[in-house]
Amino acid sequence: MKNNEKYTGNELSEERTLLAFIRTCAIFCGLYILLKKNIKFAYSSFIPILIALILLYRLIYIDHTAHKMYIRSLGGTLLICIVILIIYS
């Protein structure tokens, strides 16, 4: 089955930007997990909450991208992992 949809360069570049942002959020959460033992302030779950809120905002306002459902499912999976991280930290 062939996909006959044609995407513009703007849509594909926006998709690459969103995927890079999702990857950056995952990297920051991974660094948070590794450095969590060294964080000694009272609001240590502030960092993943902030990352989750920014990621949620970016996932809601997707306008001109090629594969919206793919990006939303990947970002939603990361958002679920961040919420689990917040609950168990």
DSSP string, the chain: --------HHHHHHHHHHHHHHHHHHHHHHHHHHHGGG--SS-TTHHHHHHHHHHHHHHH---S-S-HHHHHHHHHHHHHHHHHHHHH-
Rounded to whole angstroms, the Cα distance separating 70 from 78 reads 12
Mean of pLDDT values over 69-83: 92
Please state, for a pLDDT cut of 70, what percent of the chain lies above it.
90
Give the model's pLDDT for residue 53.
Answer: 92
Q: Is residue 1 over pLDDT 50?
A: no
CA distances from 6 to 1, 11, 77 (A): 15, 10, 27
pLDDT, tens only, 31-71? 888 887 776 666 677 888 899 999 999 989 888 888 888 99
Q: Tokens for 3? A: 């996909």
What pLDDT sits at residue 2? 54
The pTM score is 0.81
Q: Is it the case that residue 28 has pLDDT exceeding 60?
A: yes
